[in-house]
Amino acid sequence: METTGAEIEAVFRAEYGRAVAVLVRFLGDIDHAEEAVQDAFTTAVRTWPETGVPPSPAGWIITTARNRAVDRLRRESSRQSRHAEAARLYAPDATAEEGPVRDDRLRLIFTCCHPALSRQAQVALTLRLLGGLTTAQIARAFLVPEPTMAQRLVRAKAKIRDARIPYRVPRDADLPDRVAGVLAVVYLVFNEGYGGRPDLCREAIRLGRLLTELMPDEPEALGLLALMLLVESRRPARETPDGELVLLADQDRSRWDRELIAEGQELVRRCLRRDRPGPYQIQAAVNAVHSDAPDAAATDWWQIRRLYDQLMALAPSPVVALNRAVAVAETSGPQAALALTGQLDLDGYHAYHAVRADLLSRLDRRAEAAHAYEAALALTANPGERAVLERRRRELDERRTDPTPPAPPAEPP
């Protein structure tokens, strides 16, 4: 059967991170590992259309990459040390490392998240090495020019090399100082995937499970895993067949994945029993409340509002305040929520303008709502999100010609 480019791309998305992680362990150098894996995929593009996808695509890529690395080392130098290094790479167990979790990708993410690197560098490097995103894609995610992101990635890899940052899971005593950064990066990888890369979501959840095995007494690791599972449970209902985003209130909840919900809710209950609340646990609890409601009208918005109050006390941010404003709109009316959004400095965030547009529309302030929809559209390139915003913008225009007077806004209790 003829192999298509789409099939090879699917293998790349699924296996790139694993292959790079394995090659980093063999080579001890991130740049050389990336180059070897890229060479292997180049070979796959050339040969698989004729030979077909091998039974174990990941094994084929890793073996080919390792062979290319060995050949490269032999070409670069005839010194005995280089030959010895090449011979070492052929021994599959030569660099095996014992530890609490033997997983190459987990080792790589702890390397990428070393405290010597800035948080932005940690996230960018993780997306590049584990997610297989291009420099251009990462630059768009960070809203910076591609050359700027390329320089950041080069500097981050050089710092790992020059500082001899070890490629390993830290010792138990060092884990508490490293866990916050790793959890943040895993969640950002999940969020990047939720915008259209399901494979990244699966990888983030897989890493989340490993982190809970590594740190079973860390409630924030449990909270992060619960949060990702509960959000992921809604994926089947999140888009129309045409790819348009379906907002939470409009989703067909019968399509939600009940197994993921049950697992996520059980993790939330475990967190509650520990009584050591943290930001991921609270966000997971918010999503657990949503998953409890059989339909949007049955949502316990007062409970969600109280959870966001707690989150604002623990980890205040403009985005958390925006989410709290949405809960306020459902409990005290759109006017109260609109006043809260006016205090936020989120002018460059498309969701901020989308929320304000909805609130203004509910208050029948149509011209202002239209302006807010235009601002939101200018700030997002995601096709699904744009489709929703454009539809709501059209519905607003249609309402302008409707002679029926609007219903009065809800009064706060």
Give 47-79 pLDDT, tens digit per residue.
888 888 888 888 898 899 888 888 877 776 555
Q: What is the pLDDT of residue 25?
A: 82
- List the CATH number of the domain containing 30: 1.10.1740
Rounded to an integer, what distance in angstroms lies between the CA atom of residue 30 and that of residue 170? 19
Q: What is the pLDDT of residue 78?
A: 55
- pTM confidence score: 0.74
Q: Which domain holds residue 91?
A: 1-96
Domain assignment present for 148: no
Domain assignment present for 404: yes
Q: What is the pLDDT of residue 374?
A: 96
Question: Does residue 200 contact residue 190 with C-beta atoms inside 8 Å?
Answer: yes
Q: Which of 96, 130, 147 is where one domain is finished?
A: 96
Domain assignment present for 250: no
Rounded to an integer, what distance in angstroms lies between the CA atom of residue 180 and that of residue 174? 12
Q: What is the pLDDT of residue 2?
A: 55
- Here the tokens at position 36 are 């070897």
Domain assignment present for 150: no
Question: Does residue 226 contact residue 271 with C-beta atoms inside 8 Å?
Answer: yes
Q: Which of 96, 126, 156 is where one domain is finished?
A: 96
Q: What is the pLDDT of residue 401?
A: 58
Q: Supply φ then ψ for residue 7, to 5 degrees.
A: -65, -40
Q: What is the pLDDT of residue 85?
A: 53
Residue with tokens 């997971």: 284
Q: Which of 96, 120, 137 is where one domain is finished?
A: 96
Domain assignment present for 225: no
Q: Looking at the 3D structure of the chain, how many domains does it have?
A: 2
How is 341-373 classified by DSSP, letter by letter?
A: HTT---TT-HHHHHHHHHHHHHTT-HHHHHHHH
Give 382-411 pLDDT, tens digit per residue.
888 899 999 999 998 887 655 554 444 444
Q: Which residues contact 198 (CB under 8 A, 6 or more apart)?
A: 235
Question: Does residue 3 contact residue 13 with C-beta atoms inside 8 Å?
Answer: no
Domain assignment present for 110: no
Q: Whose CA is closest to 125, among 116, 135, 411?
A: 135
Residue with tokens 């599972």: 229
Q: What is the pLDDT of residue 408?
A: 47
Q: What is the pLDDT of residue 297?
A: 94
Average pLDDT for runs of 10 along the chain of length 413: 71 82 83 87 87 86 88 67 50 41 74 84 84 80 84 90 81 75 86 81 86 86 97 94 88 96 97 94 98 96 98 95 97 97 93 96 95 95 89 86 49 36
